[in-house]
């Protein structure tokens, strides 16, 4: 069957389509229903089904002939380490850790926060939770203590699993002081912290609360997989919303396993036994789905890479990993390729490596600019596939379905709707816009399996954020258009989320931090175009009357404050003191026009503006960057 037929069937016969897809998963009890619409618009998949995600990722492969196949390769140029784990070894490690967690009283439905760098133990911790039915919540290492504390208070973990440090090029990031700081700020306290001591930094332990990973696991009795309901949560992953309070995206067990397994063969064109590498971080959804769960559920070898595309040690790092481990498919963000292109525009480093195994490059996380796409195509000589999705969906929403039928590539477009997703572009009134016209990109309900059923303990916020704007549709919060061939283009967000080096950040959350500074009267943060990171945040602040210190000093403090409160990942390096912010007569800050000025786009003086002269002041504060007035 070609793409069109597969797609049509997914929408007209979702029960048959996903019922067939569910055959690739081992069920303890098969589901009694495929699509459960009894509580629409809150849909569930595979109600009544019982399974264990860790069994599907590890044990069934050990029993089914893959025991000695490498399940996970840990490749860490920053520590000069390569370690491999067969499926049997990984299963045994995970079972022992699961036993250790169970020994600490962690059971089905309990939450475990995982705050770890890119080491195999992070994946083991996720799988160990899945094994005993506990719900993990991984927090990205680049977030600061306060962000970690917010997540601890929302998820209320019984145990937190962490490590003494992460390694960023040129510096050791000590995790334990951040963890201790977060627990101090948080209202909720975990019973225990399990800490892996890495040789690069020793963590100071709190007596009674903190436990050494190695000692704990050495004495543990391995735990078996427990039966878990298909609709029970597997994990919570917090992602930026429009305020400082992140959204706890919930993922269930059954739909997740089915959708990920289906995506591996049909979208990525990957077979069991293939080597699959998602160069991301376990702290992001890409890491959850395509470093840990999908490749293992599908019986592949997954690569867990602790390094960067450049500087560890050079822009040939990705090519070295591909050739050394025989990688067939790589998935990363366009920003990584922009970094490689910047440091090695001629692709010279490619000459040293044999990339014979390499078949396809997938890019996602931000819009892929056609220049980067063409550069990658020419340098690598393989198909380069932009695809589009988000934390909420958990797997691709638009993609060139390489395993069904490779379609022509249109640069700038992540291709067509993935089977299961009925994607439309709507105008403000909820009517479909004309072909090629920009609208709000929505998905007609129900969403397919694997997508978020709700937000953690926040059904109402889920409805309000995603289902209320256009009844009957899920709001992606992206804007874009659909062309005459049904190719989708994603152009921007309709909220205040920006995308910095493939990382999703809320400018609203940064504004909340700036507003806390005692000298700040009001502020605005906008995302400004950046050659490497796609976008970077820039803050504008108006000081309170009588602020008696130099603006530059306050600007430095504000940069430090965002780093301290949100974390280095915010990449907030520029705060500018201005006399006034441009506003409409009703007092709304004109962030859109400010962004156009900063990006040097042609802009018009908005009719509703209070005082147009302020726009010139903003241009001057930006040092005349771009700035052709329309
Ligand atoms: N723990 C602690 N700090 C971290 C971190 C982590 N896990 N990850 C990033 N940081 C820090 C970085 O060290 C940097 O700190 P600095 O301000 O002191 O330099 C800051 O957060 C910003 O990081 P990043 O945005 O990653 O920028 P970078 O300049 O270090 O690297 C790229 C730029 C393009 C090389 C990098 O972003 C990259 O490899 N991206 C790959 C794409 C990706 O992972 N996308 C995720 C979704 S697919
Ligand atoms: P995250 O939830 O961190 O995965 O970020 C999801 C957001 O990143 C989406 O809502 C889009 O705004 C953006 N995004 C991801 N992939 C793409 C893509 N291929 N093209 C354009 N935007 C993308």
Pocket-testing residue among 163, 168, 282, ligand 1, by greatest number of atoms within 8 A of Cβ = 168
Q: Which ligand is the nearest neighbour of the Cα of 500?
A: 1
Which of residues 219 and 75 earns the better pLDDT score? 75
Q: With 80 as the cut, is the pLDDT of residue 243 above it?
A: no
**DSSP-derived secondary structure for 317-376:** HHHHHHHHHT-SEEEE-HHHHHHHHHH-TT-GGGGGS--TT--EEEE-SS---HHHHHHH
Which of residues 195 and 219 earns the better pLDDT score? 195
pLDDT tens digits, 165-177: 999 999 999 999 9
Name the one residue in this structure whose structure tokens are 């009283």: 105
Rounded to an integer, what distance in angstroms lies between the CA atom of residue 24 and that of residue 522?
55
pLDDT tens digits, 52-91: 999 999 999 999 999 999 999 999 999 999 999 999 999 9
pTM for the full model? Answer: 0.95
Pocket-testing residue among 335, 369, 478, ligand 2, by greatest number of atoms within 8 A of Cβ = 478
| Cα of 159 from ligand 2 centre, angstroms | 31
Q: Which ligand is the nearest neighbour of the Cα of 562?
A: 1
Q: Name the pairing type of β-strands 233-239 and 247-252.
A: antiparallel
Residue nearest to atom 18 of ligand 1 (CA): 568
**Packing angle, helices 334-343 and 370-380, rounded to 10:** 70
Residue nearest to atom 10 of ligand 1 (CA): 142
Q: Ligand 1 pocket: which residues have CB below 6 Å?
A: 141-142, 166, 168, 173, 280-281, 284, 286, 308-310, 332-333, 335-336, 339, 365, 501-503, 568-569, 571
pLDDT given at position 412 = 95
> Which DSSP symbol is given to 56?
I
**Packing angle, helices 14-21 and 3-12, rounded to 10:** 110
Q: Ligand 2 pocket: which residues have CB below 6 Å?
A: 239, 285, 364-368, 386-388, 390-391, 414, 476, 478, 490, 493, 499, 504
Pocket-testing residue among 332, 361, 367, ligand 2, by greatest number of atoms within 8 A of Cβ = 367
Q: How confident is the model at residue 144 (pLDDT cuts 50, 70, 90)?
A: very high
Pocket-testing residue among 115, 148, 304, 501, ligand 1, by greatest number of atoms within 8 A of Cβ = 501
Dihedral angle computed from the Cα positions of residues 178, 183, 185 and 186, in that order, rounded to the nearest 10 degrees: 130
Residue nearest to atom 4 of ligand 2 (CA): 390
Question: In this structure, are residues 26 and 60 in contact, taking their beta carbons and an 8 Å threshold?
Answer: yes
Is 88-226 a domain of CATH 1.10.1060.10? Answer: no
Tokens, residue 527 = 């995302």
Question: In this structure, are residues 161 and 106 in contact, taking their beta carbons and an 8 Å threshold?
Answer: no
pLDDT given at position 625 = 54
Q: With 60 as the cut, is the pLDDT of residue 329 above it?
A: yes
- Write down the architecture of domain 501-621 according to CATH: 2-Layer Sandwich (3.30)
Q: With 60 as the cut, is the pLDDT of residue 624 above it?
A: no
Q: Which of 67, 108, 110, 114 is nearest to 87 (CA)?
A: 67
Where do the structural domains in the chain lie, given as residue ranges?
88-226, 501-621
**Packing angle, helices 145-155 and 175-185, rounded to 10:** 50
Q: Which uninterrupted H or E stretch holds 196?
A: strand 192-196
Dihedral angle computed from the Cα positions of residues 392, 398, 404 and 406, in that order, rounded to the nearest 10 degrees: -150
Q: Is 463 left (phi over 0), alpha (psi -120 to 50) or beta?
A: alpha
Question: In this structure, are residues 476 and 442 in contact, taking their beta carbons and an 8 Å threshold?
Answer: yes
3-state secondary structure 123-147: HHHHHHHHHCCCEEEECCCCCCHHH
Give mean pLDDT, residues 244-248: 89
Interior angle at CA 562, CA 304 and CA 114, nearest 5: 35
Q: Which of 146, 145, 152 is nearest to 111 (CA)?
A: 152
């Amino acid at each position: 069957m070609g793409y069109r037929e597969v797609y049509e069937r997914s929408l007209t016969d979702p029960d048959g389509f996903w019922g067939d897809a569910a055959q690739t998963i081992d069920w303890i009890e098969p589901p009694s229903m495929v699509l459960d619409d009894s509580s629409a618009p809150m849909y569930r998949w595979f109600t009544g089904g019982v399974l264990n995600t860790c069994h599907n990722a590890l044990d069934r492969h050990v029993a089914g002939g893959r025991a000695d196949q490498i399940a996970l390769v840990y490749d860490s140029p920053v520590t000069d380490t390569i370690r491999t784990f067969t499926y049997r070894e990984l299963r045994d490690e995970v079972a022992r850790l699961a036993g250790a967690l169970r020994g600490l009283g962690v059971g089905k439905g309990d939450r475990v926060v995982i705050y770890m760098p890119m080491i195999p133990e992070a994946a083991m911790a996720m799988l160990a939770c899945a094994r005993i039915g506990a719900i993990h919540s991984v927090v990205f290492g680049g977030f600061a203590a306060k962000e970690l504390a917010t997540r601890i208070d929302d998820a209320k973990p019984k145990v937190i699993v962490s490590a003494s440090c992460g390694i960023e090029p040129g510096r050791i990031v000590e995790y334990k002081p951040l963890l201790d700081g977060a627990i101090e700020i948080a209202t909720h306290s975990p019973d225990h912290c399990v800490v892996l001591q890495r040789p690069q930094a020793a963590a100071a332990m709190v007596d009674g609360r903190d436990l050494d990973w190695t000692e704990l696991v050495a004495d543990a009795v391995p735990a078996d997989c427990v039966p878990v309901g298909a609709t029970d949560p597997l994990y919570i992953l917090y992602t930026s919303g429009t305020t400082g309070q992140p959204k706890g995206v919930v993922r269930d067990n059954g739909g997740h396993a089915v959708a990920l397994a289906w995506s591996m063969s049909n979208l990525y064109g990957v077979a069991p036994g293939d080597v699959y590498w998602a160069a991301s971080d376990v702290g992001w959804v890409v890491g959850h789905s395509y470093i840990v769960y999908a490749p293992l559920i599908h019986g592949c070898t997954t690569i867990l890479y602790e390094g960067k595309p450049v500087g560890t040690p050079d822009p040939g790092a990705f090519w070295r990993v591909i050739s050394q481990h025989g990688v067939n498919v790589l998935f990363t963000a366009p920003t990584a390729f922009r970094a490689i292109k910047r440091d090695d525009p001629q692709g010279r480093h490619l000459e040293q490596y044999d990339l014979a195994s390499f078949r396809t490059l997938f890019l996602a996380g931000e819009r892929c600019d056609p220049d980067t796409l063409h550069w990658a195509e020419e340098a690598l000589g393989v198909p380069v596939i932009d695809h589009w999705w988000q934390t909420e969906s958990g797997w691709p929403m638009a993609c060139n379905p390489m395993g069904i039928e490779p379609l022509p590539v249109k640069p700038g477009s992540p291709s067509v709707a993935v089977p299961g997703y009925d994607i439309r572009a709507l105008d403000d009134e909820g009517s479909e816009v004309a072909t090629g016209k920009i609208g709000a990109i929505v998905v007609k309900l129900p969403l397919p399996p694997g997508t978020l059923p709700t937000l953690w303990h926040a059904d109402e916020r889920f409805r309000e954020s995603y289902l209320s704007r256009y009844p009957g549709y899920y709001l992606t919060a992206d804007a874009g258009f659909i062309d005459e061939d049904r190719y989708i283009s994603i152009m921007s967000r309709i909220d205040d989320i920006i995308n910095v080096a493939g990382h999703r950040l809320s400018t609203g959350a940064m504004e909340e931090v700036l507003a806390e500074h005692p000298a700040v009267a009001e502020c605005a943060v906008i995302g400004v175009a950046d050659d490497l990171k796609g976008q970077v945040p820039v803050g504008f602040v108006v000081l309170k009357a009588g602020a008696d210190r130099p603006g530059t000093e306050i600007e430095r403090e504000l940069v430090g404050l965002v780093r301290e409160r949100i974390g280095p990942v915010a990449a907030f390096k520029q705060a500018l003191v201005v006399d006034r912010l441009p506003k409409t007569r009703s007092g709304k800050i004109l962030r859109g026009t400010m962004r156009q000025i900063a990006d040097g786009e042609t802009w018009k003086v908005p009719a509703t503006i209070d005082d147009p002269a302020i726009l010139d002041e903003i241009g001057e504060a930006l040092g005349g960057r771009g700035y052709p007035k329309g």
